[in-house]
Structure 1
């Protein structure tokens, strides 16, 4: 019988049996339930999907990332074996464009050990088609990266990890939960206050009614990942939308067909995300022993890698596409589009100087 129930039905049953669940638990079920989770069953990308990511906007995005990877490989003294890991590689578009450039570096193709952190069978099939020539290996546990030096790409990965929200009431913090009110899913608050010291000093001056949004899953994942990279050598490159510094506010959103929807309405049918707290991510990587380079906005980062020059060359070779290319370039770099909201974090082995970042 459970096979015929929707994810919403299963969540409602769990709430009736065990009481309200934390927002983090709800998000985890919506996104990664083994059979009904949003990221387990469909291709969410593109105009026919729910959202579009930078690699799908223009090939130039992946190409300059490929040049960035090649430069770092050379700085690492061209190791005989190099693991390149992408977290949530979507359709494989970013890597297809990046590897077309990176493999021009002498020794890179022979050294490459390509690993993809992915569980969605629909997307895995697309990745296999685009990246099959590079002999990729799919992993569901980042511990399986092997022992070679490693470069990690995480484009719009951390925003999709579950968050916790705490609301300040009468000078105390209460965790936001998902329960049932008159048979419908609704937000509520835990009746027991949370220890203020565990919320973090960044929220000490928050006023009553304000929200502390904590990406604990993202911080833990980054810490785990950084502890794997540190002894092997290499770097983590994370591109995502979010805040440079920890601050009060709530950013949870649900998207379906490129439009906002109620995050409680159809569990598993919409993408749930929240802004990344880059200060917290950087702290997790630094505690693991990596050097965290000064955060940079996506527009400035891509420009420093030569995106404008690559765009101009592509437009000159395809004049009939110049208008579309101009639109794509603006979308990636303009401050009122992805250029400022999206930011780029790099954590690397000490001594490396990743392109696009000022000295730490």
Structure 2
């Protein structure tokens, strides 16, 4: 039994089954044994777009420079990344911004839950002197651009199953043999009409999406800004049961290796857009990642890289193809931009 499994077992024995949100949050963020506290696995358990091709970060860097200009080129302005991994995306962004002559325009800030990743970011991004004190603590004190790639999918989700008279919350408990197992709480919670379709047997709801929109509303009330999110999930309906684990590049059951595998869920982009609109935010998207990157110039940037690096032509082409091909990441990944009211429509939408 792993240390975290023993801890979860003790928690369940003492207080009863855990909602899926509590289970997911403990597996990812327990300070002693949680996945992100001890063994974040970019390049081992999973790979992200910035690690596939430098074009991804470069285009987002140029997008940031363009949107800063669309905001009226305010000075100072914060460039914020949430969940920056090994710092690859921000490094590529700043290189592209610098090559376009905007390298001194932004004050960088990183919000990172993983101490392992934070250490890597401090090393890789040290030339840009980023602030690691926590982006959300000062969000909105001045104009800002916020970006997050594959961060929303790590926000813990509640899961519900449709019962005869209403919805029941899915929980994690213990089997007769003492193993972690899924079950259903006994209390009905009523309707979830705003979250689930009439024919859905199950639905996931990420409570932190509400908090995110509330935070952005408060920040935009103080200063203009945009928040760009790239992640996977459906654009027009709520996810059902999508909780899954990843270990060494393979999908594993979410209860198999608590604390040793990454846990993730699909993002409900339609709900995020709905929540943002209710709070008066301007919403662009969601759009598919492939068309978004192509609209920003992915093909032209790829050709320029191939011309400058002919010996790497095949690798460069293959990386960009994976990002934009609908059969790869191009359609499964979506892009959404939440903005303060009154700004021009963002590029790529």
TM-aligned CA distance change 1:32 to 1:72, over 3 Å: same
1:203 counterpart residue number: 196
Question: Is 1:36 aligned to 2:29, yes or no?
Answer: no
TM-aligned CA distance change 1:324 to 1:204, over 3 Å: closer
1:155 counterpart residue number: 149
Q: Quote the Cα distance in structure 2 between the aligned partners of 1:90 and 1:154.
A: 10
2:168 counterpart residue number: 174
* 1:12 alignment partner, SS class: helix
Q: 1:113, 1:136 within 8 Å by CA — same for their partners in 2?
A: yes
Residue 321 of structure 1 and its aligned partner are, at CA, apart by 1.1
Residue 283 of structure 1 and its aligned partner are, at CA, apart by 2.0
Question: Is 1:213 aligned to 2:213, yes or no?
Answer: no
TM-aligned CA distance change 1:70 to 1:134, over 3 Å: same
Q: Render the CA deviation track for 1:230-283: whole Å, top value 9, x for unaligned.
A: 431010000000011233521111100110111111211111101100111112
Q: 2:144, 2:226 within 8 Å by CA — same for their partners in 1?
A: yes
TM-aligned CA distance change 1:251 to 1:165, over 3 Å: same
TM-score (norm 1): 0.92
Q: 1:230, 1:290 within 8 Å by CA — same for their partners in 2?
A: no
TM-aligned CA distance change 1:26 to 1:43, over 3 Å: closer
Q: Quote the Cα distance in structure 1 between the aligned partners of 2:280 and 2:89.
A: 28
TM-aligned CA distance change 1:152 to 1:226, over 3 Å: farther
Written as runs of structure 1 = structure 2, the 5 A alignment for 1:132-147 is: 132-140=126-134, 142-145=136-139, 147=141
Q: 2:239, 2:268 within 8 Å by CA — same for their partners in 1?
A: no
Q: Quote the Cα distance in structure 1 between the aligned partners of 2:146 and 2:135.
A: 14
Q: 2:285, 2:335 within 8 Å by CA — same for their partners in 1?
A: no
2:21 counterpart residue number: 24
TM-score (norm 2): 0.95
Q: 1:254, 1:273 within 8 Å by CA — same for their partners in 2?
A: yes
* 2:59 alignment partner, SS class: helix
Question: Is 1:355 aligned to 2:347, yes or no?
Answer: yes
Residue 110 of structure 1 and its aligned partner are, at CA, apart by 3.5
Q: Render the CA deviation track for 1:296-344: whole Å, top value 9, x for unaligned.
A: 1000000000011101111121111111112111110000110000000
1:128 counterpart residue number: 122
Residue 126 of structure 1 and its aligned partner are, at CA, apart by 1.4
Q: Quote the Cα distance in structure 2 between the aligned partners of 1:36 and 1:68.
A: 38
Q: Quote the Cα distance in structure 2 between the aligned partners of 1:288 and 1:164.
A: 22
Written as runs of structure 1 = structure 2, the 5 A alignment for 1:1-360 is: 6-46=3-43, 49-104=44-99, 108-140=102-134, 142-145=136-139, 147-182=141-176, 183-196=178-191, 199-203=192-196, 205-206=198-199, 210-247=201-238, 249-349=240-340, 350-357=342-349
Gaps of 5+ in 2: none
Q: 2:239, 2:267 within 8 Å by CA — same for their partners in 1?
A: no
Superposition RMSD in Å: 1.7
TM-aligned CA distance change 1:231 to 1:294, over 3 Å: same
Gaps of 5+ in 1: none
Residue 119 of structure 1 and its aligned partner are, at CA, apart by 2.9
Q: Quote the Cα distance in structure 2 between the aligned partners of 1:246 and 1:5.
A: 36
